[in-house]
Chain A
Amino acid sequence: MQLLRPESVEAAAAALGNGSVALAGGTDLVPMLRDRLVSAETLVELKEVVPRGVEGTRIGAGTTLAELEVDPEIPAALREACALAASPQLRSMGTIGGNLLQATRCWYWRLDFPCFLHGGSRCHAREGAHREHAIFGNERCASAHPSDPAAALLALGARVRTSRRELGLEELYRLPTEDDRNVTALEPGELILELDVPRPEASVYLKAMDRARWAFPLVGVAAARFADGVRLALAGVAPIPWRLDSETDLDRATPLPGTAYKVELARPLIRRALHSVT
């Protein structure tokens, strides 16, 4: 395995064209390389090419979660979501760009079951233990998206600038389909460079988890109030970060037997989040 350290976005994008893998903080990638979930002959380090730091409403994709969680310029929902992600060591290394692309914790996927997300024909979670899994968008794959910051950014209406285009965060994510099992719309070699995060009047992130700290969300709720209304987004409830218009959208959830509790849990959590920002 070799490590490339390109000095321009163009060079990085070119190096990524042939099956090599981008390396930012490495907190998600390195364990996956070790577990053979990702194979790569070449790692392309992004440190020199992806911006880092906060400027106005713009956040470099290379900014670490630890930097964001203490920056008073950052909206509360994102700060709180960053502070609640992982552990201090991981937050010191992990970048916001990498966090948006974080792989699911679905055991079946992590253990390399031939599941739908891995290109197989069925979702093993649907028929097995799945209390951590999805209640929305779970027909083909019931994995849950683990990112707290992604839900916060979705509620905040963040836009993403990549090496090729600009798009809303909602457009970055897609449910896996028969033809394309990816959960993001990024093309091969496309890099997330920057986020533009509108300033809300108020925002909050609430996270229900299995212990008091350092656990993935069972359900995370981000709410952001803007002049034209409140935007809501949830973590841990779908294969991708999930937007809801209101609590009543929960009536359209399609929980599995073992995830029905997430609907019950999300309801009061959404109410509390709304109460907090209005």
Chain B
Amino acid sequence: MSTTARRLELGRVGETTRRVDAIPKVTGEFAYASDLFAAGMLWGHTVRSPHAHARIVEIDISQALAMAGVHGVLTHTDVPGAKTYGLEFADQPVLAIDRVRYFGEPVALVAAEHPEQARRAAERIQVEYEPLEPVVDPERATEQEPLHEENPTAGHGFRDDQRPNVLRSIAIRHGDPDAEGEVSVSGVYELGMQDQAFLGPESGLAVPDGEGGVDIYVATQWLHVDRDQVAPCLGLEKEQVRIHLSGVGGAFGGREDLSMQVHGALLALHTSRPVKMVYSREESFVGHVHRHPAKIWMEHRATKAGRLVNVRAQILLDGGAYASSSAAVTSNAACFAVGPYSVDNALIECTCVYSNNPPCGAMRGFGAVQSCFAHEAQMDKLATALGIDPVELRLLNALAPGDTLPTGQKVSGSFPAAEVIRRAAELPVPEAEELPRDPIRLPGGAGNTTHGQGVKRGVGFAVGFKNVCYSEGFDDACAARVRLWKGADDELVGEVHCAGAEVGQGVTNVILQVARTELGTENVALAPGSTADVESSGSASASRLTWMAAGAVRLACRDALAEFEAGRSAVDVQRTYHHPRTAPLDPETGQVKGDRVHVAYMCAAMRVVVEVDVELGLTRVVWIGTAQDVGKALNPQAVHGQIEGGTAQGLGLALMEEIQTRDGLITNASFTDYLIPTTLDMPPVEAELIEEEEPDAPYGVKGVGEPPTVVSTAAVVSALRDATGSELARVPVRPDELAGL
């Protein structure tokens, strides 16, 4: 038996390997953070603001404290260390101090024996609010009273913008921004606020260690940055706070910011008991940041032959109440505003404002989604104006290595924009299915609304690109630790430590495949992710973790193996991998102050077929074909999975997903009212992997998490425009936009 087991090939780099978490997740055996349990644990509950903007006059916790089962009630006065935290700027209070700036902002905490006791006690905490006029219109925010007395993002090397409530503004001036073309098209495009809608709500367990420190088991995306924010708030040394990765039920950027980490730890240290917190679904909608809603004006100037001459853009992003990662999203929206096209002149201005709307931050695609929706609508519009085939127009302008981006960065390495366009355009579009057919295969789905009446078909196309890894001079290095020893039968055994968060993207398999490949053995295990065992991996975001973890694990494996082969019987090495260094943008010109602002780029193109019942405004996405520039597919099946999932998320934004607010209050915080696509809404995806290896990356990898999302919203709407002839300048496009066309 044992001999057979050892011969089992678990898969090396480039081979499809079955996800180690697949079967446990399907059978329900996988332990998510919400399944955590510790003997004697209490349940924590967060008291949240019912106002989008208010002054806190008084908080009275006496009644809540006296309730049965309650072990602790905490407010901002109980935060022993730093009172504020943040991913990039510490502008968000752990618990509101004298003012709340968004609906759902944490104000107080309760720990009780039973979650219902905690919830009821929370209702007895009396917070006296004095409501203030909320800043809810991002277009007016720069003229209203500042929401933060001192601008939290000032002094970080950004452009000096004195307008109130500017979180970051950026201007990219490239060539002659006044250059004229022979033809010009322009438009204003809008995107609603999208939610990550991960199925596993925020949850975690904080366990006091009895020596003043705390262990936090939590579903998160970046263990070490959590620790680095949590420890100062608790007034503890970093080593006293250990963050351990628990089962993550989806992230998509929404777990980059802290949720329960500080709160749970505060309650645990206060009560000297383990404290578990699990957000309800409604709470989850206010418990994490969202995708920035955007309003984008763009003008494209071109020659009659279709060459882009000048692209001008003004992008407005609503950042909500706190900074989160908005500054980086702002940069992305600006840097990718033109799309993967070569243009000699551009003037791109992007502003992100503070408001009393729900905080926005990281979400899959991270600024590029918004820009892609606008620039691809413009490219279609330009193609129509010029009478050129939209695919031809894109090919004509496709950016290639050696070309210069609007930031002044010269494209180096792999950049197969033309190739993804060609390959996606070559995918054969399926013939229209014959009528009659089952209504489920018609627009309107199960609603049985048509047998073919009113149905028109449309084909759309879109191209997009995005950076992989962090940018603008940030060194988001990744560490890995490898232990080797001789097991039974004198065989090599390896144990890998890497804090890279498995958020469902499949990084566990990638790490194991790399280790097996480098060590030449199947006897490799991956230890649970923890800040206690290994240095930072950086975040599971920016499509970076495959690249970075593969780099770190490969480096550590090679060095460990060398030591082992030199005769050491047991080795334990830790190595840190750095991607090529990037440089910041000049704050006034938006030009890169070095070779590159971004490490590398990923391109994607997508072709979409839709059917629209133009009388009822109901749609069906029939087919999606895509070509994606992935560098090198380490686990091809998982790459296809990411492409399908990422496409679905972009389709959701195109057709139905939008957080609705009224005066800053989220009105549809449930999966009953915030709709995400079902399997019936999502067609099959035919994906071509373009494997053009990235010279600077381990094994030539890039990333795959984001490009499908970047491009699919634009591609789906392009197809809807083709079917309806309508401009459709705002997503989501729902039946009210299309009915009666």
Chain B residues touching A, range: 35 or more
Asked if B448 and A213 sit within 8 Å, CB to CB, the answer is no
Main secondary structure on B side of the interface with A: loop
Contact of B615 with A by CB under 8 A: yes
The answer, among B446, B617, B660, for a CB contact under 8 Å with A265, is: B617
Asked if A261 and B617 sit within 8 Å, CB to CB, the answer is yes
Stretch from A37-45, A93-101, A176-184, A204-212 contacting the other chain = A204-212
8 Å CB contacts to B: which residues of A179-204? 204
Asked if A269 and B681 sit within 8 Å, CB to CB, the answer is no
The residues of B that contact A265 with a CB separation of less than 8 Å are 615-617, 735, 739-740
| Given A107-B668, A212-B620, A213-B678; A268-B615 close (CB under 8 Å) | yes
Asked if B447 and A207 sit within 8 Å, CB to CB, the answer is yes
The answer, among B449, B665, B736, for a CB contact under 8 Å with A111, is: B665
Bound Cα distance A261, B616 (Å): 9
Asked if B445 and A213 sit within 8 Å, CB to CB, the answer is yes
Asked if B735 and A208 sit within 8 Å, CB to CB, the answer is yes
The residues of B that contact A24 with a CB separation of less than 8 Å are none
Stretch from B486-494, B505-513, B669-677 contacting the other chain = B669-677
A120 to chain B, nearest CB (A): 15
8 Å CB contacts to A: which residues of B438-480? 440, 444-450, 453-454
Contact of A129 with B by CB under 8 A: yes
Asked if B447 and A210 sit within 8 Å, CB to CB, the answer is no
Asked if B445 and A105 sit within 8 Å, CB to CB, the answer is no
B interface footprint on A155-182 (CB within 8 Å = 1, 0 otherwise): 0000000000000000000000000000
A interface footprint on B652-668 (CB within 8 Å = 1, 0 otherwise): 00011000101001011
Bound Cα distance A128, B668 (Å): 14
A223 to chain B, nearest CB (A): 12
Asked if A261 and B735 sit within 8 Å, CB to CB, the answer is yes
Contact of A253 with B by CB under 8 A: no
Bound Cα distance A208, B448 (Å): 8
Contact of B70 with A by CB under 8 A: no
The answer, among B448, B450, B673, B675, for a CB contact under 8 Å with A205, is: B448
B599 to chain A, nearest CB (A): 38
Bound Cα distance A107, B665 (Å): 11
Asked if A212 and B678 sit within 8 Å, CB to CB, the answer is yes
B interface footprint on A45-88 (CB within 8 Å = 1, 0 otherwise): 00000000000000000000000000000000000100110000
Asked if A208 and B736 sit within 8 Å, CB to CB, the answer is no
Chain A residues touching B, range: 20 to 34
A interface footprint on B559-571 (CB within 8 Å = 1, 0 otherwise): 0000000000000
| Given A208-B735, A213-B678, A268-B454; A261-B448 close (CB under 8 Å) | no
Bound Cα distance A85, B652 (Å): 21
Asked if A131 and B449 sit within 8 Å, CB to CB, the answer is no
Asked if B736 and A131 sit within 8 Å, CB to CB, the answer is yes
A220 to chain B, nearest CB (A): 8
Nearest residue (CB) in B for A34 is B280
| Given A210-B734, A265-B739, A265-B740; A272-B449 close (CB under 8 Å) | yes
Asked if A268 and B616 sit within 8 Å, CB to CB, the answer is yes
Main secondary structure on A side of the interface with B: mixed
Nearest residue (CB) in B for A204 is B448
Bound Cα distance A150, B620 (Å): 27
Bound Cα distance A204, B449 (Å): 10
The residues of A that contact B453 with a CB separation of less than 8 Å are 268, 272
Bound Cα distance A275, B617 (Å): 19
The residues of A that contact B677 with a CB separation of less than 8 Å are 211
A40 to chain B, nearest CB (A): 15
| Given A107-B673, A207-B449; A264-B681 close (CB under 8 Å) | no
A62 to chain B, nearest CB (A): 24
Asked if A213 and B680 sit within 8 Å, CB to CB, the answer is yes
Contact of A218 with B by CB under 8 A: yes
8 Å CB contacts to B: which residues of A211-231? 211-216, 218
The answer, among A107, A204, A213, A272, for a CB contact under 8 Å with B446, is: A213
Bound Cα distance A207, B677 (Å): 17
Nearest residue (CB) in B for A146 is B672
Bound Cα distance A208, B443 (Å): 10
B665 to chain A, nearest CB (A): 7
B659 to chain A, nearest CB (A): 11
Contact of B74 with A by CB under 8 A: no
Contact of A26 with B by CB under 8 A: no
Asked if A212 and B440 sit within 8 Å, CB to CB, the answer is yes
Q: Which 3 A-B pairs have the closest CB atoms?
A: A212-B445, A264-B740, A212-B680
Which residues of B are in contact with A by a Cβ distance under 8 Å? 440, 444-450, 453-454, 615-618, 620, 655-656, 660, 662, 665, 667-668, 672-673, 675, 677-678, 680-681, 734-737, 739-740
Which residues of A are in contact with B by a Cβ distance under 8 Å? 80, 83-84, 105, 107-108, 111, 124, 128-129, 131, 204-216, 218, 258, 261-262, 264-265, 267-269, 272
